[in-house]
Structure 1
Amino acid sequence: MIDFLVIGGGIAGVSAAARLSAMGSVTVLEQETALGYHASGRSAALYERNYGKPSTIALNTASLQFHEDADVLSPRGFLLVGKDGEDDAFDADRDYMQIPEIGVDEAVDLFPILDRKVITRAAHDPAAWDIDTDLLIQTFAKIARQNGGTITTRAQVSDIKKTDQGWAVTAADVVEARVIINAAGAWVDKIAELAGIAPLGFQPFRRSMGRIPAPGGLDVSSWPMIFGPGETWYAKPDAGALLVSPADQDPVEPHDAFPDDMVLAEGFARYEAHVTEPVTRLLASWAGLRTFAPDRQLVLGPASDDNSFIWCAGQGGYGMQSSPGASQVLADIIGGKATVVDDETLANLSPARFR
């Protein structure tokens, strides 16, 4: 029997496994062929400390040192732009995220295809970084393996039974563990139901992405990530091209997500309304699932109905940037130690808030 069985091999699961591997024996079960197959592998992957709910921001802040030590960050910057009629949403985003406002000319210097005729407001945070998502996942996986942990792919969980010692989980073979860590992303409520644990009402939302050639053949490598007010669209340089998202949030059932062409077209139109270069060609498109708890905060800690079933869920679009802090908080909760976040934040992350 092992100490900790982590169900899910996305960033939530592998980061939890890395932390827990210092506390006991750990196995990760991932149903797909590789780690980070679903949401974690389809993330826009930006570290912006003030992005998310206050509890998420606390986890982002607690994550920065790990990101820096793991050398997964590279300079990017964050640019918020607005046009006539978008002032209220612009001000709300700028104030909440504490981004200094800049002039339109300065914004065009940063993102040269902005349309000066329509852009009226801009704000810029240079302290935002790209995250090397694959390196981050592999860093956590390496820590887990170095501490004796096991990671198994193609291991879809089909049955979970409570035993006198803990749990017996069937995924081709049967694995017995004292504690289950439910880090199954969009499938966390399904896993809970298999275990006889009350689901918490997690909802997956589709987020689509299109990859287009560099506008006008320009070098986009130094451009910041750019958002429309209220996160109605965003764009981000990526390997010589530009990623554009309609920032859609369509509720769906857990599945291997794919984009909706009409949703992508609507998002491209919102993006085009702010720039001088139209979208003329699509190189690729995909979608991922961002899964949220009802209050859109992460859920970290033991289930109210069984403290050997641990939730590590609801990362939404914040999993990559918050994972070092979130996994450390989770390990500290399990180990009965003081956490790096304050008591109010801890209460806002606890599954007990849904009791």
Structure 2
Amino acid sequence: MAVAKVYDYLIIGAGMAGASLAYRLRDRGAVMVVERESQAGYHSSGRSAAMFMETYGTPAIRALTRASRRFFESPPDGFSDHPLLGDRGVVYIAHEGQQDLLAETMAQLQATGATIRAMTADDVVGRVPCVRREGLIGAIEEPDAKDIDVHALLQGFLRGARQAGVEFAYNATVQRAARQDDAWLVGLSNGATVAARNVVDAAGAWGEQVAGVFGVAPLGLQPKRRSAFTFKPDAADGQWADSDRWPAVVGVDESFYFKPDAGQFLGSPANADPVEPHDVVAEELDVAIGIDRICTATTLNIRRPSHTWAGLRSFLPDGDFAVGWDPDVSGFFWLVGQGGYGIQTAPGASLLAANLILGEPLDPSLQAENIDVSIVSPGRFRA
């Protein structure tokens, strides 16, 4: 089949992974991004309550997070008209019976090299006065954790890519693909056929469905639903005029979290329910569980959530990303498995992906963090 143009890179998925990689490749060849929804970041990226936390994730993920810090703190000129990070901090609270877990968590977080502080129960209540003192045994604070402006980050990547000539096709799913003359011919649901020398699978929860169209064997990607909700403090809670400056509060067993969010609070039961990829919504039971856990740990009175939603966080069996060429199928590059870390690692992970796609040495920012590409290689699942 004759096509008018052969792209160098066809990126499937316009979430944070696909958008950030399009930004990195914007001046390195002809790039097209295909997105199944009507807008970028519709599923996981657009529903994230992401924070920048250097203690979060596996060692490889934490290294990519550290490699991303400079971009977040000093993005390129014109990338965003306001800061990408805002002060927040995180406090992990523990109750009676969780002494061992608190000690184990403290040791794990200290091993990351991030700034970590132990807090007494009185310290916690002084910092976040809505936390119940009864049964509280202490906490761990990560003071340097930051809020991420997810919308500004995603739009900065998209705007930079578009301005450099990257093309985007929305409402288009991949339906068929064949390798011909060192290029892929990809048939889309909108009737178009796209030719590209290389394909990047950045399709998030749909990553293995996309791979199957290209005849690529699965890696074991599992989407997991996380529910979240926002709520306004009850009128009786108005005594806390400075609540917008409170840190995020997380159960040390990761059974819930809440944090200030644009004049409200954002909460979650921190669930991770395995599901098939689909347009998820929050389960009423999940929201009720999250509200109960927050109300048990605090004096916040949550009458009803103002908004509920859910997102898909997709994990590979060992918890690390897949960033690299498929070892068995030519011209197919994986960029999946970001789990709950895809936003805070986006600058570093996209730079790593671009270096590998272009066959370049790793950027100095990645080398400085001793990034080991074998840990994220898709080939580790084909041994």
Shared fold, TM over 0.5: yes
Measure, in 1, the Cα distance between the counterparts of 2:29 and 2:100: 51
Q: Give per-residue Cα distances to partners, 1:301-339, cap 9 Å, x unaligned.
A: 000112410000000000100000000001111122222
One-letter amino acid of the structure 1 residue matched with residue 104 of structure 2: A
Q: Give per-residue Cα distances to partners, 1:270-290, cap 9 Å, x unaligned.
A: 222211223222111110000
The answer (yes or no) to whether the contact 1:33–1:153 under 8 Å persists in 2 is yes
Is 1:254 the counterpart of 2:277? The answer is: yes
Partner SS, residue 198 of structure 2: strand
Measure, in 2, the Cα distance between the counterparts of 1:241 and 1:294: 36
Which structure: larger Rg? 2
The alignment-based identity, stated in percent, is 39
Is 1:207 the counterpart of 2:207? The answer is: no
Length-normalised TM-score, structure 2: 0.90
The answer (yes or no) to whether the contact 2:117–2:140 under 8 Å persists in 1 is yes
Alignment of 1:306-317 (within 5 A): 306-317=329-340
How far residue 226 of structure 1 moved from its aligned partner, in angstroms, is 1.0
Measure, in 2, the Cα distance between the counterparts of 1:152 and 1:214: 41
Specify which of 194, 197, 218 is matched with residue 175 of structure 1. 194
One-letter amino acid of the structure 1 residue matched with residue 177 of structure 2: I
Specify which of 358, 370, 375 is matched with residue 348 of structure 1. 375
Measure, in 1, the Cα distance between the counterparts of 2:87 and 2:167: 34
Measure, in 1, the Cα distance between the counterparts of 2:259 and 2:46: 16
Measure, in 2, the Cα distance between the counterparts of 1:255 and 1:241: 28
Measure, in 1, the Cα distance between the counterparts of 2:176 and 2:254: 39
1:129 aligns to what? 146
How far residue 130 of structure 1 moved from its aligned partner, in angstroms, is 0.7
Q: Give unmatched runs, 5+ long, in structure 1.
A: none
Measure, in 1, the Cα distance between the counterparts of 2:305 and 2:178: 47
Partner SS, residue 24 of structure 1: coil
Paired residue total: 355
Measure, in 1, the Cα distance between the counterparts of 2:287 and 2:167: 39
Partner SS, residue 107 of structure 2: helix
Measure, in 1, the Cα distance between the counterparts of 2:160 and 2:108: 35
Specify which of 8, 14, 21 is matched with residue 16 of structure 1. 21
Structure 2 CA distance for partners of 1:343 and 1:65, relative to 1, 3 Å = closer
The answer (yes or no) to whether the contact 2:334–2:378 under 8 Å persists in 1 is yes
Length-normalised TM-score, structure 1: 0.96
1:267 aligns to what? 290
1:90 aligns to what? 102
2:3 aligns to what? none
How far residue 211 of structure 1 moved from its aligned partner, in angstroms, is 1.1
The answer (yes or no) to whether the contact 1:29–1:153 under 8 Å persists in 2 is yes
CA RMSD of aligned residues (A): 1.4
The answer (yes or no) to whether the contact 2:92–2:140 under 8 Å persists in 1 is yes
One-letter amino acid of the structure 1 residue matched with residue 203 of structure 2: A
Q: Give unmatched runs, 5+ long, in structure 2.
A: 1-5, 76-82, 111-115
Q: Give per-residue Cα distances to partners, 1:85-105, cap 9 Å, x unaligned.
A: 112222233322233112222
How far residue 344 of structure 1 moved from its aligned partner, in angstroms, is 6.4
Measure, in 1, the Cα distance between the counterparts of 2:104 and 2:290: 21
Measure, in 2, the Cα distance between the counterparts of 1:169 and 1:87: 55
Specify which of 41, 53, 62 is matched with residue 57 of structure 1. 62
How far residue 343 of structure 1 moved from its aligned partner, in angstroms, is 6.4
Specify which of 109, 113, 120 is matched with residue 103 of structure 1. 120
